[in-house]
Amino acid sequence: MTSLKNKIAIVTGASRSTGIGTAICRLLATLGSDIFFTHWSAFDSKEGNGLDLDWPDLLQMELQSLGVRAFHMEADLSKSETPTLILNEVEKRLGVATILINNATYEAPANYMTLDEHTLDQHYAVNLRGTILLTTAFAKRIESRSPQVSSGRVIFMVSGGPDSNNLAYITTKSAVIGIIEPLSVGLARLNITVNGFNPGPTDSGWMTDEMKQNFLGMFPMGRIGLPEDAAKGVALLVSDESQWITGQVIKSEGGYLGK
């Protein structure tokens, strides 16, 4: 895979050692990219897959040991000022980022009996509003530095499926797909590609042993997807070789049969 040396990447939602965000940070750093990652412990401590309190500092040191620059910050994407705060801190620490991986997400189970206005608003604030506004601010930042910055990459981590106990999460993640194609057209003149990436069910720390057994039979390759699988696909899409791939939603699910 091509080198990402001299690139600066933002990866949102790298809160846990077993998460997809962490795997992406590791691989991009291995390929030479400087990394700025965000996390939000208030969510992970209450509603996520568990708080890994010291992980951000440990990950930063691990990435730096690979020979790249790495920094992190707490970032609540439900707040309107957060996109600007993130980009200002990135530019202060590293320079203008040209890669944005929208991995941060809000997820709380809700079926038709439990879904309410508050739950919908929480999902919307992070998964749609915050993520999209970070993306448009990222693109504006690149445009303002042209011609010094000549291209960019945006990846939206998306999801879908028939899980009736995850209505708000799937609805908002699916809605993100709707902006990918038109935004890719709008940003094409800036040489910024915009793609979605659906990793399918991934063993990133949320699966119980029972769930793993149930999922295993739906993967014809004989194993469940790993965070490293997602990271490899994302790394391909942010490489120079992917300049002609834009406006797409890539399913990287290992032939998952549980559609």
pLDDT number for residue 2: 78
pLDDT number for residue 89: 98
- Model confidence pLDDT, tens digit, residues 58-115: 999 999 999 999 999 999 999 999 999 999 999 999 999 999 999 999 999 999 999 9
Q: Return the domain boundaries, the chain.
A: 8-251
Peptide bond into 147 cis (omega under 30): yes
- Model confidence pLDDT, tens digit, residues 22-69: 999 999 999 999 999 999 977 665 555 555 678 899 999 999 999 999
Q: What kind of architecture, by CATH, is found in domain 8-251?
A: 3-Layer(aba) Sandwich (3.40)
Catalytic residue among 106, 112, 124, 169: 169
Handedness of CA 162, 166, 167, 170 (dihedral sign): negative
Q: Residue 39's beta-bridge partner residues?
A: 74
pLDDT number for residue 81: 98
pLDDT number for residue 132: 98
pLDDT number for residue 32: 98
To the nearest whole percent, how much of the chain has pLDDT over 70?
Answer: 95
Cβ contacts of 145 within 8 Å, gap of 6 or more: 96
Whether the pLDDT of residue 20 is over 90: the answer is: yes
Calpha distance 50→47 (Å, rounded): 8
pLDDT number for residue 222: 80
pTM, two decimal places? 0.93
Residue 105 structure tokens: 């997400």
169 is catalytic: yes
Calpha distance 21→55 (Å, rounded): 12
